[in-house]
Amino acid sequence: MTIDAISATQATGMYTGTTGTREPKQVMDSEVFLSLLVTQLANQDPSSPMDTNQMISQTTQLASMEQLTTLTTLNEENFSLQMRIAAASLVGKEVSYEKDGTTVTGIADSVSFANSVPTVSINGVDVDLDRISGVTTTPAT
């Protein structure tokens, strides 16, 4: 009687690490805060419960943190919109930028918003908006 070879099986479970690794969060958001608060409440000593003033203070800090996060996001979106408006206003104007130590001047033909910083096409060359050093109005012909 022959015995078939048994192939090695890999154990999966909580301690083997084969189910994937969890990346630690680098930012304390509302999810982490609430998780800590729930853990603190679940593990508190029944003979000396957590001070309600402290809990209210912590939830107020959470609300403030969420509002600051929202405000930061809105400011970033506002800055992005301002860059788009500034780039679009350059179309048809004479602009200059630095290339290899020399100043290049040309007419802005079009604008692309494909990247995080808008690019302005100047005589067929795409230039990031933050590299443009000067703008003049072209004389009417």
Q: What is the pLDDT of residues 13-59, one digit of tens each?
A: 544 555 566 776 666 667 777 787 788 878 887 777 777 788 788 78
Q: Is the pTM of this model over 0.75?
A: no
Cβ contact 132:90 at 8 Å: yes
Query: What is the distance of C-alpha 29 from the center of its chain?
Result: 14
| CATH numeric code, 52-141 | 2.30.30
Q: Give the integer Cα–Cα distance in Å for 141 and 62.
A: 60
Angle between helices 30-42 and 52-88 (to 10 degrees): 170
Confidence of residue 82 (pLDDT cuts 50, 70, 90): very high
pLDDT of 10 reads: 56
Query: pLDDT tens-digit profile of 88-136?
Result: 999 989 999 998 889 999 999 999 998 889 999 998 899 999 999 999 8
C-alpha closest to that of 91 among 54, 132, 39, 55: 132
96 SS3 class: strand
Compare 5 and 140 and report the one with higher pLDDT.
5
Domain boundaries, the chain: 52-141
Cβ contact 36:50 at 8 Å: no
